[in-house]
């Protein structure tokens, strides 16, 4: 069975048995018709043993965050292999094999890890396949108020989800668009727009909707609430650390750098030192919209 999904106006396919497709409820809001031309990539889920690395050359292992999956990357004749563990020291539970242009993806999973494997494969390949399309897959929580998206950035545990919850408490007209992995596009008319995705971390928030971005806010825990706007040179490292990309592939990173530079020219970025209270949300909102 093959289903097609539209995320930020990029369409991809997942091919799997019907029982698995029916369990992918987080993708249901993004279901769409078969595109013309072809989807940007197609994932085929195989019910087979995990393939070995024989004949593949190890390139890099990503263990940047202790609470994030470990990704071992290898290459063979231009193709890619990603071996994924759920933790820094855990066993490999899924293997992704990709064509060099990302269009064809074969996914192999260990028993009981299929949902985890599909989500990670789709997120990874989506980020890589759209990198040259003015699209950024962010690690961010996003609330929408007044028709605008407000993106909160920071390392895991900084309080992005908590700050979004404070917005929902402080403002009756605010709602959550995505709590972990929204997509952002810089459109041809220079609009920066944030989109819901099927990937939202521990919070089930899968919304087929989008909004223009009012601002990006880098969070830091502090004993008092304080906010200020960052210069582009100050903001750049925060944005780069928040987007997904393949660091070992210079041409991909060049495309991401270019998109980030455009985003920073078009969208303000703030630093918010804050407590986990509604006063922080009120201060943040007031500052953003005073200068918007």
Count Cα atoms within 13 angstroms, Cβ side, for 117.
28
Domain with CATH 3.90.228.20 in the chain: 136-291
Prediction pTM value: 0.95
Q: Is the dihedral of CA 248, 254, 259, 263 positive or negative?
A: positive
Q: 148-153 and 141-145 as β-strands: parallel, antiparallel, unpaired? A: antiparallel
Rounded to the nearest 5 degrees, what angle is found at the Cα of 125, between the Cα atoms of 93 and 83? 25
Count Cα atoms within 13 angstroms, Cβ side, for 43.
28
Burial class (CB in 10 A: 0-12, 13-18, 19+), 200: buried
Amino acid 62: pLDDT: 84
The answer to whether the CB of 34 falls within 8 A of the CB of 7 is: no
Distance CA 81, CA 215 (A): 36
Amino acid 66: pLDDT: 60
Residue 143: its H or E element: strand 141-145
Per the document, the length of the chain is 292
* Number of neighbouring beta carbons within 10 Å of residue 57: 11
Spans of the chain, pLDDT less than 70: 64-67, 291-292
Amino acid 220: pLDDT: 95
Distance CA 98, CA 80 (A): 5
Amino acid 64: pLDDT: 64
Amino acid 155: pLDDT: 85
CA trace torsion 151, 41, 4, 180 (10° rounding): -20
Distance CA 139, CA 120 (A): 13
**β-strand partners of 148:** 145
Closest by Cα among 38, 243, 275 to 163? 275
Distance CA 161, CA 140 (A): 9
Please state which CATH number belongs to domain 136-291: 3.90.228.20
Distance CA 53, CA 81 (A): 8
CA trace torsion 121, 212, 249, 66 (10° rounding): -60
Amino acid 187: pLDDT: 98
The answer to whether the CB of 32 falls within 8 A of the CB of 5 is: yes
Amino acid 123: pLDDT: 96
């Amino acid at each position: 069975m093959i289903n097609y999904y539209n995320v930020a106006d990029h369409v991809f396919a997942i091919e799997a048995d019907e029982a698995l497709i029916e369990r992918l409820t987080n993708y249901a809001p993004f279901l769409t018709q078969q595109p013309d031309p072809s989807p940007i990539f197609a994932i085929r889920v195989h019910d087979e043993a995990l393939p070995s690395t024989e004949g593949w050359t190890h390139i890099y292992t990503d263990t940047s965050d202790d609470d994030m999956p470990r990704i071992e990357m290898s290459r063979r004749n231009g193709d890619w292999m990603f071996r994924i563990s759920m933790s820094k020291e855990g066993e490999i539970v899924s293997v992704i094999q990709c064509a060099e242009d990302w269009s064809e993806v074969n996914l192999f999973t260990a028993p009981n890890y299929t949902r985890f494997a599909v989500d990670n494969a789709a997120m990874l390949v989506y980020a890589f396949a759209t990198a040259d399309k003015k699209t950024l897959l962010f690690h961010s929580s996003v609330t929408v108020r007044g028709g605008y998206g407000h993106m909160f950035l920071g390392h895991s545990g900084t309080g992005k989800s908590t700050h979004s919850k404070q917005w929902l408490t402080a403002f009756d007209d605010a709602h959550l668009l995505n709590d972990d992995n929204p997509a952002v596009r810089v459109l041809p008319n220079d609009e920066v727009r944030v989109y819901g995705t099927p990937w939202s971390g521990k919070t089930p928030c899968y919304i087929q909707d989008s909004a223009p971005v009012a601002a990006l806010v880098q969070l830091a825990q502090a004993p008092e609430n304080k906010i200020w706007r960052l210069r582009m040179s100050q903001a750049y490292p925060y944005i780069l650390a928040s987007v997904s990309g393949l660091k070992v592939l210079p041409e991909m990173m060049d495309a991401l750098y270019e998109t980030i530079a455009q985003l920073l020219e078009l969208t303000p970025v703030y630093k918010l030192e804050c407590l986990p209270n509604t006063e922080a949300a009120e201060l943040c909102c007031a500052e953003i919209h005073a200068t918007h």
